[in-house]
Chains A and B, each alone.
Chain A
């Protein structure tokens, strides 16, 4: 119908080409066309089959398929990072990691099924409303940001002018829900865990925002595409911002609540922290949400410092090649660093994380800002 997707009058992205939307529109052309043809076979000449392939409903159905495609891709990426964590961590610890199916990848599926089959216990003396709502909000917020990360200039959901800020805002929501959820569970471990999540947040949130502001200052935009393009124009931002890069990796580890900053669920003293009372599939989804957040943290590092979807040391003509895969490979590389950190480090204490946040990360991020300001004034970037 529309050979060029841009020619579609209902195309939602204006002048920008969007690959998943294009794919989903073409998919709907096949699926919808098939359904319309089948209906037409039974009731020849009816209005429904014509309506199904007319532009308005086609675009609506294409949007639904578009959402599914985006989610499935992010979901598989997250499962892959989960699998990678198990294998790499296994090798670090001198064992094999998971071994079932496709080099252990199907273990994720088996675990998902197992948690799904488990009994869905809900404790009696809890604030049930808050208990369930905070859970769904934590998971929902995590999935939302994971889906909002663009993989390339042609793979995005919304092309915001303030993309990085929106992602950070949603990212920072989860600790509040954790705090409320810890209170709602009527469990001492959960309560302490929730309080710790808040304590953790106040220690990393300010440095992380300064670092993001620095990158945006360097790129001159909050838009993710513009940030990556700015790195294409000059060098990757890791070079002027090496201090910021190192600080941001640790802040991102804290943001994803991974070792060494997983104090909110410290299993040694708090059983499972704020997750103690969540059983069965609820817990499984929380774990999945955590890996979504880990994936987002890595993607942020890649966007802000490692040149997004650009291939390193490549001439301009091949630099647009398979940008999604390049982006994901870089994200997994950052995740690999996080896994090694998890294998090598112990959990820090609550007072230590506040100390590190305000006495180490904060000055480092300000130093990074000063360096960038000097470079900017000196006209080098």
Chain B
């Protein structure tokens, strides 16, 4: 190994020693969205080795849940992922409902689906903004954030909060859709379906953006499955799997949508999958809102549930904006969970950072890692 590293000098002078260098990117580095570190070993500009270090944001979430009653965990579940807070709350409520063995009203299911998809669009837009800054363009960042504002306002109309919503409840949702929400949601979605083309055109019509994304961060299907990668990062590698379709929860089997899958396995295909997912989310929102309207204003949206969960185990999984998130609940019959385990998609996906960035240039590392869509709140818990 040492011999390889000697550069031969043509003039016959003593060979020059070269060495690989570890560059520590993070935890305070513009490329790491959140507190995590990527140690990259570089040989000139080319990354030869990489190692992710996470855990800076660990706050003992699972342990804290063991000391709280079931309803009190709902606002905590919001804080798992700030970009898509509704999904984790939803997942938690579904897990407890499964342990209780109850079925929530139809209307609550549809409202939860709408809320989920709004959060998915929000999260993907935030990811798009991050891709813009990682590529060195602030216009994409601000335009994507501008589109995101409309969905934040939708959250506001639905439940009164913009980011940490505290909306789903065990046995339903907190409130019915408001009139303002009914009015705005279709308008917002239809506007978004046109307005997002601004951003897509800015990125897709520019050969610089494409050349930065195409052909970088390759991952094969086998690697993807072996590493346990889920979500858009997996579907960009040609694995056709989406829990919403293949193991439907709520009423996802009653709406019509497609699962975008691309086979290239590079950064660009992951980008395209996420963009297409936003359009599919719009489709789901429209259908679900139609179903909500068909159920009428007086349909029940919340059940009374007992405060004690019978002893037993339950787990539930769902399609997070970032991948497959899972909660596993062990109950001992009291009003507090005995154990609540969270499987975060990013915690698993980040383990792919070494095969992803190996062999690429250091300039591509931010773009490749942006396609994983890091969210440290759920990773470190």
Residues of A within 8 A of B138 (CB): 89, 93, 343
- Residue of B142, B143, B211, B366 near A268 (CB, 8 A) is B366
| B133 near A345: Cβ-Cβ < 8 Å | no
Question: Given A93-B138, A259-B137, A343-B139, are A271 and B363 neighbors across the interface (CB < 8 Å)?
Answer: no
Residues of B6-24 at the interface with A, using a CB-CB cut-off of 8 Å, are: 21, 23
What B residues does A263 contact at CB under 8 A?
363
| A186 at the binding interface (Cβ < 8 Å) | no
Evaluate contact between A346 and B142: CB separation under 8 angstroms.
no
Which residues in A have their C-beta under 8 angstroms from that of B23?
188-189, 192
A255 interface hit (Cβ, 8 Å): no
A350 interface residue (CB < 8 Å to B): yes
B364 — which chain A residues lie within 8 A by C-beta? 349
Min CB–CB distance A249 → chain B (angstroms): 15
B361 contact from A94, A267, A345, A350, Cβ within 8 A: A350
Whether B29 and A345, one on each chain, are in contact in the complex, defined by CB atoms closer than 8 angstroms, is no
Would you give the 0/1 interface string for A257-289, flagging 1 where the beta carbon is closer than 8 Å to chain B?
001101100111111000000000000000000
Complex: A188 Cα to B134 Cα, angstroms: 19
Complex Cα distance, B143 from A89, in Å, reads 13
User: Which B residues touch A94, using CB under 8 A?
Assistant: 142-143, 146
A348 at the interface (CB under 8 A from B): yes
CB atoms of B211 and A347 under 8 A apart: no
Do A268 and B30 touch (CB < 8 A)? yes
Binds A, one of B154-162, B201-209, B241-249: B201-209
A95 interface residue (CB < 8 Å to B): yes
B228: chain A residues at CB < 8 Å are none
Cβ 8 A contact of A269, one of B132, B208, B366: B366
B54 interface residue per 8 A CB criterion: no
Q: Kindly list chain B residues whose C-beta atoms are within 8 Å of the C-beta of A270.
A: 362
CB of B139 within 8 A of CB of A92, answer yes
Give Cα distance in the complex from A54 to B366, angstroms.
Answer: 66
- Chain B residue with the shortest CB-CB distance to A352: B211
Distance in angstroms between the alpha carbons of A69 and B211 in the assembled complex: 46
Q: In the assembled complex, which residues on chain B have CB atoms less than 8 Å from the CB atom of A347?
A: 135-137, 208, 212, 363
- Chain B residue numbers with a CB within 8 Å of A349 are 211-212, 361, 363-364
Task: Give bound CA distance, A267 to B137, whole Å.
Answer: 11
Asked if B151 is an interface residue, CB under 8 A from chain A, the answer is no
Considering the complex, give the chain B residue whose CB is closest to the CB of A355: B211
Asked if B45 is an interface residue, CB under 8 A from chain A, the answer is: yes
Answer whether A266 and B143 are a contact pair too, CB < 8 Å, given A188-B23, A344-B202, A348-B208: no
Q: Within the assembled complex, what's the spacing in Å between the Cα atoms of A271 and B133?
A: 12
Which partner residue on chain A sits nearest B362 by CB separation?
A: A269
B29: A residues at CB distance < 8 A: 271
Residues of A within 8 A of B45 (CB): 192, 350-351
Residue on B with the closest CB to A349? B363
Q: Which residues of B contact A266 (CB under 8 A)?
A: 136, 363
Question: Would you call B365 an interface residue if the criterion is a C-beta within 8 Å of the partner chain's C-beta atoms?
Answer: yes
B25 lies within 8 A of chain A by Cβ: yes
B31 at interface, CB cutoff 8 A: yes
Chain B residues lying within 8 Å of A352, measured Cβ to Cβ, are 211
The minimal Cβ–Cβ distance linking A247 to chain B, given in whole angstroms, is: 16
Chain B residues, Cβ within 8 Å of A192: 23, 42, 45, 362
A-side contacts of B208, CB under 8 Å? 260, 345-348
Measured as residues with beta carbon below 8 angstroms from the partner, the interface class of chain B is 20 to 34
Residue of B nearest to A89 (CB): B138
Contacts of A269 in B (CB 8 A): 25, 31, 362-363, 365-366
On chain A, the residues within 8 Å of B212 by CB distance are: 346-349
Shortest CB–CB separation between residue A210 and chain B, in angstroms?
24
- Specify the chain B residue showing the minimal Cβ separation from A189: B23
Bound-state CA distance A374–B21 (Å) is 52
Q: Contact at B142–A93, with CB atoms within 8 Å?
A: yes
* Chain B residue, CB-CB nearest to A260: B208
Give bound CA distance, A24 to B308, whole Å: 89
Cα distance A188–B45 in the bound complex, in angstroms? 12
Give min CB distance, B202 to chain A, whole Å.
7
Chain B residues in 8 Å Cβ range of A188: 21, 23
Check A346–B25 contact: CB distance below 8 A. no
| Residues of A contacting B366 in the complex (Cβ-Cβ under 8 angstroms) | 268-269
A219 to B375 Cα, complex, angstroms: 59
Nearest to A270 among chain B residues (CB) is B362
Q: Mark B322-357, 1 if CB is under 8 A from A, else 0.
A: 000000000000000000000000000000000000
Which of chain A's residues has its CB closest to B30's CB?
Answer: A267
Task: State whether A268 touches B206 (Cβ < 8 A).
Answer: no
Cα(A192)–Cα(B146), bound, Å: 34
Which chain A residue lies CB-closest to B140? Answer: A346
Residues of A within 8 A of B133 (CB): 268
User: Which residues in B have their C-beta under 8 angstroms from that of A345?
Assistant: 137, 206, 208-209
B interface footprint on A123-158 (CB within 8 Å = 1, 0 otherwise) = 000000000000000000000000000000000000
**CA distance in complex: A192, B133 (Å):** 20
* Residues of chain B within 8 A of A93, CB atoms compared: 138-139, 142-143
Contact yes or no, A268 B134, CB < 8 A: yes
The residue on A at minimum CB distance from B198 is: A94
In the assembly, what is the distance between CA of A267 and CA of B206, in Å? 21
**Distance to closest chain A CB from B27 (angstroms):** 13
- Decide if B361 touches A268 in the complex (CB within 8 Å): no
When the two chains form their complex, are residues A350 and B363 in contact, meaning their CB atoms are under 8 A apart? yes
Q: Which of A263, A269, A271 has the most CB of B within 10 A?
A: A269
A349–B210 Cα distance when bound, in Å, is: 12
Query: Which one of A94, A95, A343, A346 has the greatest number of beta carbons of chain B within 10 Å?
Result: A346
Nearest CB in chain A: distance from B108 CB, A? 37
Provide the bound-state CA to CA distance between A39 and B154, in Å.
Answer: 76
- A343-371 residues with Cβ-Cβ distance < 8 A to B are 343-352
Minimum CB–CB distance for B46 against chain A, Å: 10
Q: A102 vs B212: C-alpha distance in the bound complex, in angstroms? A: 39
Given contacts A92-B139, A346-B208, contact A268 B31 (CB under 8 A): yes
Contact residues in A for B25 (Cβ distance below 8 Å):
269
- CB-CB < 8 A to B139: which residues of A? 92-93, 343-344
Q: How far is the CA of A263 from the CA of B361 in the complex (A)?
A: 13
CA distance A349 to B368 in the complex (A): 13
- The answer on a CB contact under 8 Å between A268 and B135 is yes
On chain B, the residues within 8 Å of A268 by CB distance are 30-31, 133-136, 363, 366
A20 to B202, CA, bound (A): 46
Q: Smallest CB-CB separation from B367: which chain A residue?
A: A268
CB-CB nearest 3 A-B residue pairs: A347-B136, A346-B135, A93-B142
Enumerate 21 A-B pairs (CB-CB under 8 Å) in ascending A order.
A92-B139, A94-B143, A94-B146, A95-B142, A188-B23, A266-B363, A268-B134, A268-B135, A269-B31, A269-B366, A271-B29, A271-B30, A344-B139, A344-B206, A345-B137, A347-B137, A347-B208, A347-B212, A348-B211, A351-B361, A352-B211
> A268-B134, A269-B366, A346-B212 given. 11 additional CB < 8 A pairs?
A189-B23, A192-B42, A192-B45, A259-B137, A268-B31, A268-B135, A269-B363, A344-B137, A347-B135, A349-B212, A349-B361
